[in-house]
Structure 1
Amino acid sequence: METKEIMLVCAAGMSTSLMVTKMQNAAQERDLAAKIFAVPVPEAKEYLAQHSVDVLLLGPQVRYLLDGFKEDYPEIPAEVIPMTDYGMMKGDKVLDLAVSLMNG
């Protein structure tokens, strides 16, 4: 099975790095091959210019950028991480969201 790339976009990266860890743990438990990583907003477009990702998740603090990402990268499924799941660090729920977006 090919490794899926899940990119989280955040303001600074502190709490999102914890979410990445929680999501990686959930992926391991499910035997899901996934590269899950977070980048701050200023680096997101730079990364996407050089790499392809399977899904793009935005932290609630940068939800206002969603329409722009969808417009600039229509081929990449994108969504905002629900505030409740983000606040409670529910990596399994956020991974569910990523998988459902990839399965379209």
Structure 2
Amino acid sequence: MAVGSVIAGRQVGKEDCIVKKALIICAAGMSSSMMAKKTTDYFKAHSKDIQLDAVTATEGEDEIRNGDFDLFLISPQTNMYLDNFQKVGKEVGKPVVSIPFDAYIPIPMGIEKMAKLVEKNL
């Protein structure tokens, strides 16, 4: 549902649109930033209100505790921290999932797999 659409005779406003947010936690943040942007663009192209962002692993625990995101995704190169991040996620009631290698490739197939992973876990 996009802002400005007309549904049941009424125009949709910003308050009607609930944007879901997911955060990729990565080693350095470069590849994850690209994946976040491309996946967000994919969702926009498919009229879905889902946004992705990215941070480094050193910021991961604070971001999970902060609660500003609905889902946390752990990149393949930071998978060694998965158990700790999942423990923190459980404490605050937020899902933390591992990104498989084939969903972490900035090509259409990888972006689509990342989008499906996000939708499945939101």
Normalised TM-score (structure 2): 0.75
* Worse overlay, 85-94 or 59-68: 85-94
Gaps of 5+ in 2: 1-16
CA separation in 2, counterparts of 1:95 and 1:64?
23
For each residue in 1:34-86, what CA deviation from the matched residue of structure 2 results, as whole angstroms up to 9, or x when unmatched?
22100001112223333331111111000111111111111111211111221
Q: Match for residue 103 of structure 2?
A: 85
Match of 1:29 in 2: 45
Moved over 6 A (4+): none
Letter in 1 for 2:117: L
Identify which of structures 1 and 2 has the higher relative contact order when contacts are C-alpha pairs closer than 8 Å and 6+ apart.
Answer: 1
Q: Distance in 2 between matches of 1:84 and 1:48?
A: 24
Q: How far did 1:87 drift? A: 3.3
Query: Take 2:99 and 2:39, find their aligned partners in 1: how far apart are those partners?
Result: 12
Q: Which shifted more, 68-77 or 42-51?
A: 42-51
Query: CA contact under 8 A between 2:60 and 2:85: conserved in structure 1?
Result: no
Q: Does 1:64 align with 2:80?
A: yes
Q: Which amino acid aligns with 2:121?
A: L
- 4-13 or 64-73, which deviates more: 64-73
RMSD of aligned residue pairs (Cα, Å): 1.5
Unaligned segments of structure 1, at least 5 residues? none
2: CA distance, partners of 1:62 / 1:76: 18
Aligned residue pair count = 102
Counterpart contact for 1:22–1:92, Cα < 8 Å: no
Alpha-carbon offset, residue 88 of structure 1: 5.0
Which protein is bigger by CA-based radius of gyration?
Answer: 2
Q: Secondary structure at the match of 1:73?
A: helix
